[in-house]
Structure 1
Amino acid sequence: MSKPTMVFIPGAWHTPEPFKVIIAKLSILGYKCIPLSLLAAGHEPAVLDLQPDIDIVHRTVQDEVDQGHLVVVVAHSWGGIVAGGALDGLSKTEREKSGRKGGVVKLAYMCAFIPPEGVSLAKALGGEDPEWDVQEPWVNWKNPIDGFYHDLPAEEGKYWKSKLARHSYATFHAAAPSAAWRIIPSRYLICEDDRAIKPEIQEIMVQNCRGLGAEMETERVFCSHSPFLAKPDETVGFLRRATGEEA
């Protein structure tokens, strides 16, 4: 049986480039990987809500499942909100009910936001702008090396900082219309040395989802907000286990 396709959704400010190390490792293992570039990061003019990126994810995943493929959607940070709103009707369970093959079999979250539908990132954070440098219509992170890459070698951290794009501020105040984790089984990687989304916040989000009936397994790794850079082998193992493979 062929392995599921992995569709990668980056977090705020990020292009898909930081995923390249783990994608190379997964590709060698036989996984098809599709990294997505989202419009909220750097697109001119700034997008005003989540819908353009929700549409990108939905179209990409639909193309795969319509070919009968199974899919694991991998979301990092803010990308978890986009993933939540982008998978309506695409789960394997929903497609089976109408006699169709393929579908999303798992959500794999890496230190990601997983609010209920109708809750924006800003609302999930209590309406405050922590560590954000707002210059509307854009927003930047004030100290990205400390926030995202503090456990990488200094030159590596500087390199990845140089690859960040400014992000649409409006998308931080926009909410997804649905929450895919209500339907699709999920696996969440808690990053225990995360300075952008504290591990206790990650744990609270997971417990909140479970309290709303979500099937959500967890794993833990001691690293920053960028497990795909700081702990690539451990992250690859997490993703392989998300597909049901023993790793």
Structure 2
Amino acid sequence: MTTSKPTIVIIHGGWHVPESYEKLILALRNANYEVHCPRLPTTNLSQPPNADLYTDSDLVRTYVSSLVQAGRTVVVLLHSYGGQVGSNALVGLGQETRAKEGLSGGVSHLIYLSGFALSEGVTMMDKVQEFGHMDLVPVSFDWADDGTCVHADPRTLLVGPSDLAPNEVNEYVATLIRWNGKSMYQPSRHAAWREIPVAWVYTTQDMTVPFSYQKSFVEDMEKAGRPVQTFEIATGHAPHLTATAGVVDAIQHVVNS
């Protein structure tokens, strides 16, 4: 493996598990990257749930800290809900911040893949409410009384239009599980994007995190003084499955820029 390449950490979305990203992980490993995708505690299938946004954030912070403290340069790919988790978890672990402290290693880039890049005190549902889409929440997700949920129509709303064979879509959908949806109503405490360079992969046909939401996140970061390098892929909310080569190309571009 080429040691000059950064380590890639994927922070997965709600309903997803590491197996949901196998196609992307394999493609990145074939490009000589070391890839990690820790499983978030909110996907441990406990009912009632015993983990939330902050539990997930603690796990990600500990996991990435271990890589950073070993002197690794880390690029973090944040998909969907993973965007809020990473934003909340990684403050203080940026390469630039650590270098000022005389420390090696650190997170060199955050790459949001249709992810939630929220400010402090803001929830995922605040963004949904901002766009007037709260009426779609009970339609899109099947909720249990304990606050866990599954996606109501992943083939349409997650995968979307694609050229994939039906069996490949079926295999992906089979990885999706029940998740603690209460996390969508919990506010972020930190915003790591304020101190770590950011890139964004727009998914223009996304029906779960619409293009309008994504542009709003980027605009908010840029208004806060954070430049954002952007890429655009005409695909739905699962580009790791439906547009894998495009995601790898974007990562490569960020790493080499």
**Could you state the TM-score of these two structures normalised by the residue count of structure 2?**
0.90
2:68 maps to which residue? 65
- CA offset digits 1:189-233 (Å, max 9, x no partner): 000111111112211111111111112111001111111111111
% identical aligned pairs: 28
Flag the structure with higher helix content.
Answer: 2
Instruction: Quote the offset at 1:93 in angstroms.
Output: 1.3
1:41 to 40, 43, 50: 43
Which one-letter code corresponds to 1:220 in the other structure?
E
Q: 1:240 to 1:136 in 2, by over 3 A?
A: farther
Gaps of 5+ in 2: none
Maintained 8 Å contact 1:187/1:242: yes
1:238 maps to which residue? 250
Which one-letter code corresponds to 1:225 in the other structure?
H
Runs of 4 or more, structure 1, over 6 Å off, are: none
1:89 maps to which residue? 92
1:193 maps to which residue? 205
- When the two chains are superposed, the root-mean-square deviation of aligned CA atoms in Å is 1.6
1:134 maps to which residue? 143
What SS does the aligned partner of 2:202 have? strand
For 2:193 and 2:83, how far apart are their aligned partners in 1? 10
What SS does the aligned partner of 2:64 have? helix
Q: Larger deviation: 50-59 or 151-160?
A: 151-160
Which one-letter code corresponds to 1:17 in the other structure?
E
1:148 maps to which residue? 158
Which one-letter code corresponds to 2:149 in the other structure?
V
For 2:111 and 2:51, how far apart are their aligned partners in 1? 27
Which one-letter code corresponds to 2:76 in the other structure?
V
2:77 to 74, 79, 85: 74
For 1:42 and 1:153, how far apart are their aligned partners in 2? 29
Does 1:165 pair with 2:177?
yes
Q: Where in structure 2 are the equivalents of 1:8-23 lying within 5 Å?
A: 8-23=10-25
1:29 maps to which residue? 31
Instruction: Quote the offset at 1:35 in angstroms.
Output: 0.9
For 1:158 and 1:6, how far apart are their aligned partners in 2? 26
For 2:142 and 2:182, how far apart are their aligned partners in 1? 13
- CA offset digits 1:72-99 (Å, max 9, x no partner): 0111011100000111211111111111
What SS does the aligned partner of 1:162 have? helix
1:182 maps to which residue? 194
Maintained 8 Å contact 1:188/1:217: yes
> What is the number of equivalent residue pairs in this alignment?
245
Q: Larger deviation: 150-159 or 62-71?
A: 150-159
For 1:141 and 1:21, how far apart are their aligned partners in 2? 21
Maintained 8 Å contact 1:136/1:169: no
For 1:32 and 1:161, how far apart are their aligned partners in 2? 25
For 2:247 and 2:126, how far apart are their aligned partners in 1? 29
Maintained 8 Å contact 1:206/1:216: yes
**Could you state the TM-score of these two structures normalised by the residue count of structure 1?**
0.94
Gaps of 5+ in 1: none
Maintained 8 Å contact 2:98/2:104: yes
